[in-house]
Amino acid sequence: MLPTKQHKAYCDFYDTVRDEEHLDARTTAMIGLAAAMARECQP
């Protein structure tokens, strides 16, 4: 996985993106789904 410093930076970024201050929950979920599909992940 990621080294500790990079893992913390990623978690901070992820938490900031998911805080719903700028985007509503539905939009956030749709972006996450689109990103997963773009990476060919299975839901």
The 10s digit of each residue's pLDDT in 4-22 is: 998 888 888 878 777 777 7
Rounded distance between C-alpha atoms, residue 40 and residue 22, angstroms = 27
Rounded distance between C-alpha atoms, residue 18 and residue 24, angstroms = 9
Residue 28 exposed, middle or buried by CB count within 10 Å (0-12, 13-18, 19+): middle
Average pLDDT of the chain to the nearest whole number: 80
Rounded distance between C-alpha atoms, residue 40 and residue 38, angstroms = 5
Statement: residue 42 has pLDDT above 70: no
> What was the pLDDT predicted at 20?
73
Rounded distance between C-alpha atoms, residue 1 and residue 28, angstroms = 25
> What was the pLDDT predicted at 25?
85
Percent of the chain at pLDDT > 70 equals: 91
